[in-house]
A and B are shown apart, each in its own frame.
Chain A
Amino acid sequence: MGRLKKRLHSLTAKMLDVPQDVTLDLPRLTMIGDRQLYIENHRGVLQFTSELLRLSLSKGELEVRGRDLVMRAILPDEVFIEGVIAGIQLLHNE
């Protein structure tokens, strides 16, 4: 996305009070306690073990730490994780 377009999108999102993931291509995380995590809008799996899941995002990375992590389902831009989730970290590599 061009910078102008990005700013335009951001402006529209602010003006219309639309959730930003819709316009700005941001990930949306839905978490149920420490057992289930639903991630939309990712850009691929970078690393996956039973303790750590690293996902690529449109901007940066997402790290999920925990125990016994299992991908219940995986689709091109959605991941559904189950297990005991200890932490989520967003990394900006810019």
Chain B
Amino acid sequence: MKFSWRVIQVSLIGGLIGILIGFLLALISSVLNQSPVFLPSTPTFVAQYQNNLTATLVSVGLWALMGIVFSATSSIIFAIDRWSITHQTVIHFLITYVLFTPLAVTAGWFPVKYYLISYSIEFLIIYFITWLVSMQIAKATVRKLNRLVSKEKQ
């Protein structure tokens, strides 16, 4: 019970952060493209809907779901601490890749045809860096613990 409440809380915050990031990205993109109005995504995406407001509402829903995907999976996967760092990272990568990719494609963030490979490579690189940093932190922790053990034995 306590566990699921925590996941719900984290997901809510994650959803809000997703909306914030999605909104900021869309705002920056609208400014850079010198659009006269705020566009939640590409003009092709917006054209799929009746008006800009509907397109924005759909986008907000997708941004929230993206945030939930990352926050909920993180709070579940990284809480299973009997798993090794590699195990956690690989499972987290697979779940977020499978769930986030369709959301990003639906939100019109990139056309599947041209960018799927480079997107996948970027995704992999980000996870590899995360894994590498986590391993380095763990190595430093182990070094510190071993120093304490040898001090104790002196």
> Are the chains A and B members of one assembly?
no
| A→B interface (CB under 8 Å) | none
